[in-house]
Every structure is written in C-alpha cells, then in structure tokens.
Chains A and B, each alone.
Chain A
Amino acid sequence: GNSVTQMEGPVTLSEEAFLTINCTYTATGYPSLFWYVQYPGEGLQLLLKATKADDKGSNKGFEATYRKETTSFHLEKGSVQVSDSAVYFCALRSSGGYQKVTFGIGTKLQVIP
C-alpha cells in the first residue's frame, strides 16, 4: 500500500536559518503530493502541493519539488521565522479510486529567536 516517511522531530532552528524537512513516499501510480501545516490548537492547513513529477509547489516562502526518481518531496524554506513553529505533515493522494490520503507522522519545528 501507500506510505509516507518523515522524521518526527522536533527540529530546532534559530531564526533566519535554512529549513529542510525530508519526505519520501511509496505509492503505486502517479499520486499528488502535499504539505500541510498545523499550528498549536488548530486543524491542518494545506501549505502547498504538486500534482506531477518535477512540479514545484510553493507558498509563504516554502517550496517542495516532486522528485519521482527519488520518490521524495522535501520541504524547504530559506529563512525561517518564529511564526513558522508548527507541525508539518507530508501527504500523498491518488487521483484514482477512492482517493484516500496517506499522511506522514508529522515533523515538529521549533524556531527560537
């Protein structure tokens, strides 16, 4: 079946540091890939997505590129802020069938001033 692997963290960075959160996946066919963000006490919000190989999703300074050859979708940001402290979830979704979503375990990011 489908699966998504990401480290649980926490990842602790100083403000303005470069962020990478790794995400790798296993899936049949050609899934779409997503990153969601969850701030404390809230539901998840869609951060960015990519629907085919070599697509780059971007939003709020975050980027991720759909790499089919390495089955990866790593999240990056050039300069993190304290307000980026949250839990980040990588996910995939098939476009066929019942389109269930598979989530990674979530990576907690702490940014310190």
Chain B
Amino acid sequence: NAGVTQTPKFQVLKTGQSMTLQCAQDMNHEYMSWYRQDPGMGLRLIHYSVGAGITDQGEVPNGYNVSRSTTEDFPLRLLSAAPSQTSVYFCASSSLGTALGAYGYTFGSGTRLTVV
C-alpha cells in the first residue's frame, strides 16, 4: 500500500551513540517533515523539506541532522543521543498546497526511541 514507511519501529540507544531513523514515501510528495511527540507537549517539528536538496529547521532541531537527496527518502540522524531525545518520532509527507488550499499530511507509524 502507498504511504509513509518508517524504520525501525523501536530502538534503544546508549547515551552518546548515533543512529539514523529512516523515512520513505512512495506518493511523490514534495514536502516531508519530522516530528517528535512527548506527553503534554503535543507534536513538535524537528526538520522539514520542501523538495530534494532543500531542508530547513523546525522548532527543536538541536541534536538532529537531515538530508534530502531524493524525493522519496528523508532520514533523520541523531548525532550523539541524549536521554532528552527519548520520544516517539513521526515522519509525515504531503503535496505542496496551492492558493486554493493546503493538503493534509500522511504520517508514518512512528519510531519509539529510548535513550539510556
């Protein structure tokens, strides 16, 4: 089925380790983004991209890197994991809107990350 695929679903890291969360979509969406979801804080935007080769920071970018070399893939890299990065991470994609209105997101199923 078409959609957004995130891997892995679960991950435990030790403090200081690095890792990459993978996100791929097969809907030819220009827009892709990463969010983290924490209790009582809703969804917070980490990084986003409006097309291959174009990325920008969201609200909480520190400690994370992204790149967008293809339309389909938008990996999120944790450079040196910290316990404060324990969270559920969601990737989302959409088409870019027009003057007639914006499009909604398609979300992946999430990656639950624990940093010990």
Q: Using a CB–CB distance below 8 Å, which chain A residues touch chain B? A: 8, 31-32, 34, 36, 42-46, 49, 51-52, 89, 93-96, 98-101, 103-106
Choose one: A43, A94, A105; the contact of B107 (CB below 8 Å).
A43
- Chain A CB within 8 A of B34 CB: no
| B56 part of interface (Cβ distance < 8 Å) | yes
**B107 contacts across to A, CB distance below 8 A:** 36, 43-45
Interface of A is mostly: loop
Interface pair B45/A100, CB less than 8 Å apart: yes
A95–B101 touching, CB < 8 Å: yes
Q: Is the CB of B48 within 8 A of A100?
A: yes
A32 B101 Cβ-Cβ under 8 A: yes
Interface hub of B40, B56, B99, B103 (most chain A Cβ within 10 A): B103
Q: Write the residues of chain B forming the contact surface with A, with a CB cutoff of 8 angstroms.
A: 4, 31, 33, 40-43, 45, 48, 50, 56, 58, 90, 92, 96-110
Contacts of A44 in B (CB 8 A): 43, 90, 92, 105, 107
Decide if A89 touches B42 in the complex (CB within 8 Å): yes
Residue of A nearest to B35 (CB): A103
Task: Look across to chain A and name the residue whose beta carbon is closest to the beta carbon of B31.
Answer: A99
In the complex, what's the smallest C-beta–C-beta distance from A79 to chain B, in angstroms?
25
* Residue on A nearest B4 in the bound complex, by CB: A43
A-B contact pairs, 15 of them (CB 8 A): A36-B104, A43-B4, A43-B110, A44-B43, A44-B90, A44-B107, A94-B102, A95-B98, A95-B99, A95-B101, A95-B102, A96-B99, A100-B45, A101-B33, A105-B40
| Cα-based distance from A105 to B42 in the complex (angstroms) | 4
* Bound CA span A3–B102, Å: 17
